[in-house]
Amino acid sequence: MTLLVLYGLQMLVGAANIWTTFSDVVRASHLALGAAIWAVSVLIVVAAAYQPGEATEEAEASPSMGGGREPARA
């Protein structure tokens, strides 16, 4: 939802660039919105790649979890 709102604002500010003959404030706003869109897009991709509860091979063999432990010597 956030991405759609940012994209809609980006289109309006892009049109405002033309209406204001490329005012510095509007150009900076357009750039800031573009950067925000990229940041949200990256966060979505990172969040989609993260899968909670999946153990890695290193975590499975970790001594703190009991994996790879040698038997106690008498």
Cα atoms in the 13 Å half-sphere on the side-chain side of 43: 8
Identify the band that residue 26 occupies on the pLDDT scale cut at 50, 70 and 90: very high
Helix (H/G/I), strand (E/B), else coil: 28: helix
Give me the residue label for tokens 């063999």. Answer: 61
Which run of H or E residues covers position 52?
A: none
Residue 4 confidence (pLDDT) above 80: yes
In a domain, 37, yes or no: yes
Q: In total, how many domains does the chain have?
A: 1
> Is 35 inside any structural domain?
yes
Does residue 47 form part of some domain?
yes
The reply to whether 39 falls in a domain is yes
pTM (2 d.p.): 0.64
pLDDT bin (cut points 50, 70, 90) of residue 22 is: very high
Residue 71: inside a domain, yes or no?
A: no
Instruction: Judge whether 70 lies within some domain.
Output: no
The parent domain of residue 16 ranges over 2-51
Within a domain: residue 63?
A: no
Q: Is residue 40 part of a domain?
A: yes
pLDDT digits (tens, 9 = 90+) for 27-59: 999 999 999 999 999 999 999 998 887 766 665
Q: What is the pLDDT of residue 17?
A: 96
